[in-house]
Structure 1
């Protein structure tokens, strides 16, 4: 359980941050970049949650909690007894939710622009932010061993957010389609 009596500790004033196992790493390390990008993606999810409701909002609420699990996973290097890790059933649940939403959608006939309603735009912003978190997690995985489910979760989550944006757009006026070369003279 987390208990914070004080927000600032001064322990990071020299550019180092503590990990779950007690070790310290540079705040500029790939690990801290990945953790920071997951945190930013979680904030983007919060913005999307403010714009959607119903089943989509409930799904995003679950995902937001799992993003904290993912941050804890990334903040725990190596093997540690009792470490909080992303697990295969979390990835499988995302896949099932993607399949359920996608089954109600028409096939793509064009690329879509990350636009439309505020909810759709917020979901696309969250998707793009998750993709950046995924890239930094890949970079970390090239330096150190990672839980393979962590990377799979991020990969599936960006797909989930893409399909959710399509699903929300379909219910609110449709998608904004890319028109290649539309503004060329």
Structure 2
């Protein structure tokens, strides 16, 4: 359905057309600022967990509700990062505080998952089916989100609990990926050092 004179959508404001955007406290910064770099990484992480959630739901491995809770927490982390702690009102600080209890919840989930997995004796490659692979991908993005958030926390623009959560979240996603592979009955590929080019060449000639 189309309209000749549609009302202007609220999806675009045009205020960022010159490469700037606003933070929660009203401050405007360049979109290349470290805060927006961290926000972008956290947003990408959230999207990647959404993909993992889709495949976990398809396999009914029981991780779905945890992943949704994590996605909600990442939204709250974005609010925390977007509110420089040293230049925000008491109300803004209260509304965007990220509780350390979320870190403890992740640790409990990790303990439960890890208790059901075989001991880890090799480096694991991203593998083990769709749910597992996309959880591994989310883990990799989580590591980047953590790296981009470090300078924001160091500048006291975000709470340290945000950094703790992202660090623990990558551990959770690793355990969840292994658990998903086990649940689906699919094998995880392990790292094996590749032969050098010379060794491979000799072996090829011998064949």
> Does the 8 A contact of 1:76 with 1:83 survive in 2?
no
Deviations 1:27-73 (A, max 9, x none): 00110000010000000001001100342011001101111011111
What is the CA-CA distance between 1:131 and the residue it aligns to?
0.7
Deviations 1:123-179 (A, max 9, x none): 011111111110000122233442010000100111100000011111222311111
2:142 is the counterpart of 1:169: no
- Give the distance between the partners of 1:174 and 1:50, measured in 2 at CA: 21
What is the CA-CA distance between 1:182 and the residue it aligns to?
5.5
> Does the 8 A contact of 1:127 with 1:158 survive in 2?
yes
Structure 1 residues 105-116: aligned runs within 5 Å: 105-116=117-128
Q: Which residue of 2 aligns with 1:181?
A: 194
Unaligned runs of 5+ residues in structure 1 are none
> Does the 8 A contact of 2:181 with 2:188 survive in 1?
yes
CA RMSD of aligned residues (A): 1.5
Range moving further from structure 2, 20-29 or 51-60: 51-60
Unaligned runs of 5+ residues in structure 2 are 1-8, 201-207
2:42 is the counterpart of 1:38: yes
- Give the distance between the partners of 1:42 and 1:154, measured in 2 at CA: 12
TM-score for both structures, normalised by structure 2: 0.83
TM-score for both structures, normalised by structure 1: 0.92
